[in-house]
Amino acid sequence: MFGKKSGTDKIDSLVGKKSVMEGSLNFSGGLHVDGSIKGDVTAIEDDRSTLSVSQHGKVEGNIRVPYVSLNGTVIGDVHATERVVLLANARVTGDVHYTLLEMALGAQVNGRLVRQDETRKAPPDRPLRPAVADAGKATHR
Q: Does 48 have pLDDT greater than 70?
A: yes
- Asked if residues 113 and 94 have their Cβ atoms less than 8 Å apart, the reply is no
23 secondary structure, DSSP code: S
User: What's the pLDDT band for 140 if we cut at 50, 70, 90?
Assistant: very low
Q: What number is the average pLDDT over the span 20-44?
A: 96
How far is 93 from 124, CA to CA, in rounded Å?
31
How far is 107 from 71, CA to CA, in rounded Å?
8
Q: What is the pLDDT of residue 124?
A: 45
Which tens digit of pLDDT belongs to each residue from 67-90? 999 999 999 999 999 999 999 999
Residues comprising the chain, all counted: 141
Three-state DSSP state, 58: strand
User: What's the pLDDT band for 9 if we cut at 50, 70, 90?
Assistant: confident
